[in-house]
Amino acid sequence: MLFNSIEFAIFLPLVFAIYWLLNKHLRWQNLFVVLASYVFYGWWDWRFLILIAFTSFCSWGSGLLINQSPKPKRWLTLNIVVNLLILGVFKYFNFFVGSFCDLFGISNSLVLQVILPVGISFYTFQALSYSIDVYRKRIAPTRDVVAFFAYVSFFPQLVAGPIERATNLLPQFERQRTFNYEEAVDGMRRILWGLFKKIVVADNCATYVDQVWNNYANESGSTLALAAILFAFQIYGDFSGYSDIAIGSAKLFGIRLKDNFLTPYFSRNVAEFWKRWHISLNTWFVDYVYIPLGGSREGRWKTIRNTFVIFLLSGLWHGANWTYVTWGLYHALLFVPLILLGRTKAYSGVATWKQIPQILLTFALVVLGWIIFRAPSISDAWGYICGMFQWGTLRSVYRFFIPSDLYIWPKNILILICICIEWFGRKKPHCLANIENLPLLKCRFLRILLYALAFISILFFRGGLHPFIYFQF
């Protein structure tokens, strides 16, 4: 079920109403969360429910066994192996078998027609973090199986994050929740902003980007460059929009999820970008891979090694394609000079007008990486980049600002509006937070007018129904 679908527009208020009717009965309320989440997830394919239920049960049981056993590491290892084996079979089996066969010229007869379960990487990592944290004594194992199943399957963040930790989310299902009007209003604002970024910005960019990529070999350098920039805004609007809708929806149910994006395109170097982009995944790799490997405590060369490990794993996490691995390697290489110069922690706070040159340079490096990420293959990525840097790009740079295709104009204006709103709201949890305190919006009528304009934009400036990009991961 897509957040930007009619089905979800009916599903959310219906679940909201029943959920709060059960407010005095915590266990029944949690059971309803599990039921609603399984309906939401099973909307794509009911067979996926068997997999998520098995993953949840294994991780819940492993927590109890880790706590009771004289050899807890054995149960932790078993749970990690089982979960990663499931992930590997469904997501990577064909990739590795196909690569092996291509390398040695073997007939590829072992390829399986396996349907990739939606969001399997997200809920697998969320379940794994629980058993690891129980082993590390960061959280006590829960005996409440219903609360645990709700923690793993909570529908707003189930298929594309944020990847929550048990230390934050599980206790919220183990205690009584109360309805908070102010939080609910803020949640609705965040949902509205997320839908704007997804439907108005990302989906409109997607149409043009797909058109260019389908025929990139015959496009001019300026067209390729423009499409690359638009894809950067497409993937940001798509993924951060999903996170905003997820966090806002959770607030309607009295649940607080962690932020997943903090205006990453206003970063002043690549290190800061990765502290602001997909925060839940990056901190997962830092806590469970980077720090156990030694982090940055054992000298610069080991720091570089550990950085390459987590970026290669992050690339592979995104999908079974060498383009994702190369994309991870590319960002690891960008980190090397920052580590050698000691600038991985150089910036704090939000960017200022004076730092726009650093922001533009960082954005350009990130856009180059997105070309590798978007490409179907390494050869396509190389061909696209070579085509983008041909002489025609320099000769027709004005087309970035005055494109000959009138279809691009609305996209440029919408992106500019999005950038301006995010720039002036970069110090807040999200752009529409506390807008009633702004001088021009203290009047309730003006705020309602603003919401109405955003809603009208969503209705009349749709770019077609595009699935969320990160659903495939």
Region label for 69, one of left (φ > 0), alpha (ψ between -120 and 50) or beta (otherwise): beta
d(CA 14, CA 8) in angstroms, rounded, equals: 10
What tens digit of pLDDT does each residue of 262-271 get? 999 999 999 9
Rg, Å, the chain Cα set:
23
d(CA 6, CA 78) in angstroms, rounded, equals: 42
d(CA 195, CA 190) in angstroms, rounded, equals: 9
318 catalytic residue (yes or no): yes
pLDDT of residue 111: 52
What tens digit of pLDDT does each residue of 390-424 get? 765 555 444 544 555 545 556 677 788 888 888 88
Averaged pLDDT for residues 334-344: 89
What tens digit of pLDDT does each residue of 17-63 get? 999 999 889 999 999 999 999 999 998 888 889 999 999 999 999 99
pLDDT of residue 229: 92
pLDDT of residue 214: 92
pLDDT at 156 over 90: yes
**How many angstroms separate the first and last alpha carbons of the chain?**
16
What tens digit of pLDDT does each residue of 173-218 get? 999 999 999 999 999 999 999 999 998 889 888 888 999 999 888 8
Phi/psi of residue 349, nearest 5 degrees: 75, -170
pLDDT of residue 398: 46
pLDDT of residue 399: 52
Long-range contacts of 88-93 (CB under 8 A, 24+ apart): 89/114, 90/51, 90/114, 90/116, 90/117, 90/120, 91/116, 91/120, 91/121, 91/319, 91/320, 92/316, 92/320
pTM exceeding the 0.85 threshold for the entire prediction = yes
What tens digit of pLDDT does each residue of 355-391 get? 899 999 999 999 999 999 999 999 999 999 998 887 6
CA 2 remoteness from chain centre: 15
Averaged pLDDT for residues 166-175: 94
Name the active-site residue from 278, 318, 331, 466: 318
Is there a contact between 245 and 160 (Cβ–Cβ < 8 Å)? Answer: no
pLDDT of residue 252: 95
In whole numbers, what is the pLDDT of the chain averaged over residues? 86
pLDDT at 128 over 60: yes
Sequence length of the chain is: 473
| Residue 364 burial (CB count, 10 A) | 12
Question: In the chain, what percentage of residues exceed pLDDT 90?
Answer: 55
Q: Which two tokens stand for residue 200?
A: 């108005």
